[in-house]
Amino acid sequence: MERRFTEPLRERGVRITPQRAFIWQTLASSDGHFTAEELWERVREILPGLEISTVYRSLEALAGAGLVVESRVGEGPRVFEARSAPHPHLVCEECGNISHLDSAAGGRILEALEAETEGFRTRELHVFATGLCAECLASSEG
């Protein structure tokens, strides 16, 4: 395991296990969004016998340390990625691709929502837009 994948865990006080390190490596070496099942499939190639419950517990530990953020995008499964804060998502209804606004625009949306929730303590905030991604839009018009 390369240090660049174990060092962030050590720095955040996450006990390093092979399971956690490989799950973090999978997330950190991609800018994509993964379900727990997808991570399980990938990490099982390296760690046969890995239980999906271990994947969930590892993700909780990584999320608790602020290394991973969990998002819900509609009725689909929860997705995980190597980011530290909740942010809005754009979800394509055609191909399922999940993308991001630029972070300044995302931050403004979240700030506006938080400004309106006085007297309410937000625990989780899931913001997403559904529609067609640029590629699917282009092929539907073609």
Measured from the CB of residue 117, what is the shortest distance to Zn ion in angstroms?
Answer: 21
Q: Identify residues 43-82 at the interface with Zn ion (CB under 5 A).
A: 81
Q: What is the dihedral of CA 44, 72, 57, 123, to 10 degrees?
A: 170
Cα angle 104, 107, 110 (rounded to 5 degrees) comes to: 155
Identify residue 40 by its one-letter amino acid code.
Answer: W
Q: Which residue has the tokens 């993700």?
A: 59
Q: Does 134 bind Zn ion (CB under 5 A)?
A: no
Judged by CB under 5 A, which of 92, 109, 110, 127 binds Zn ion? 92
Beta carbon nearer to Zn ion, 55 or 91: 91
Query: 12 or 83: whose CB is closer to Zn ion?
Result: 83
Residues in the chain: 142
Q: Which parts of this chain interact with Zn ion (CB under 5 A)?
A: 81, 92, 94-95, 97, 133, 136
